[in-house]
Chains A and B, each alone.
Chain A
Amino acid sequence: MIQLILFSLIGALLVFALFFAMRRGPRTEGSSTALVGARQALNSLQAGLLPPELVERIFAPEDYEFVASQAPKDVRDLFCAERKKVAIMWVDQVRQQIRSLMRFHLGSARFHAGLSLQTEIGLAVDFTGLLIACRALQVLLYLRGAYSAPRMVGATAATATRVCRISEESLAFLNAASIGGLGDRSAGAARLL
């Protein structure tokens, strides 16, 4: 008898929890902030960090060859230290923006994006792989300099570009006009609630 009451209570609690979770839905203000944040992270990656010409420039072996053939040791050392600093900064910023995109996909994307389960799983694998690759790359660059892992740099940039493309598809509805309207919509929704 006690067991029956206990199970009935647990069942009732679960039904209530499910009911409230369904009523709550996405939090409008939080999700609009997440959307804008994701769009900014995407812009930062696509326009600032991942353009191939910039990545190639930072890790350009011809610059190293030029310095090695033209400059004394102290200038070569300065060159290696400077390129290492910029390379680490590049990976660090890529990692930060990827994390920001990942947070959006984990928290809010399901409410806005029409991504299939298969795509979401693929994205999750890509995000995790990218974050691990960025950390490994940071360690490698720190220990052995900017020219230590050209293939890994290329692979990381290529994966990040692919992830950005998928994220962009899920954020395609969010153009400049709707970003402007998000604030109004949030306020309107808040008033309705």
Chain B
Amino acid sequence: MTVQLRRMDVQQAANDLRHRTLADIPRSLDRLIYLASMRDYNTGLYYHDGLASRFTQEVACEALADCHREAFRQLVGCSLEELVHQMEAYMESTCTNASDFLTAWKKLEPYRVAVPVESDPLSAQFLFSSFKIALAILESRRHTHPVEPVA
């Protein structure tokens, strides 16, 4: 019974998170990165003060983990074309120079630390591979249609 109640709390907290915070982040890639940033690298636990104050820290942590897994599944299910669109939009939203962004993402591969801990290894590997291809496509587009620097 307690487990069931707790699960209901987690679902409620996850819905709250979807309606309040994630509703403003429409793309799965942005959600994945946002939710990964809510996770402590040393412990693997997620923190969100607002959610923890409305529920409990444990429930908030599980709700964030649920939403993180959901974003991961959505992104794995995206076509390559959709992933390229999402990456392009994300790159523009960061207001970083495209060349710097692509270089950093190719070298540092930050997407590797953005996946949920218990994600299926094959799905994770598939997503990493798709990111690599998407980055190559974006880079090739820049070479084909270079953006003139603003004087």
Contacts and interface: CB of A to CB of B under 8 A. Distances in A.
Interface of A: 47-49, 53-54, 57-58, 60, 62-63, 66-67, 70-72, 74-75, 78-79, 82-83, 85-86, 89-90, 93
B80 A67 contact: yes
10 contacts: A49-B122, A57-B77, A66-B79, A66-B80, A67-B137, A75-B133, A82-B132, A85-B129, A86-B126, A93-B122
Interface residues of B, number: 19
A75 B137 contact: yes
A80 to B, nearest CB: 10
Nearest to A49: B122
Given A53-B77, A82-B129, A48 B120 contact: yes
Q: Looking at chain B's contact residues, is the secondary structure mostly helix, strand, loop, or mixed? A: helix
B45 interface: no
B140 interface: yes
Given A49-B122, A57-B126, A71-B140, A82 B77 contact: no
A53 to B, nearest CB: 6
Nearest to B77: A53
Q: Looking at chain A's contact residues, is the secondary structure mostly helix, strand, loop, or mixed? A: helix
A86 B80 CA distance: 14
Given A48-B120, A60-B79, A78 B132 contact: yes
Nearest to A73: B140
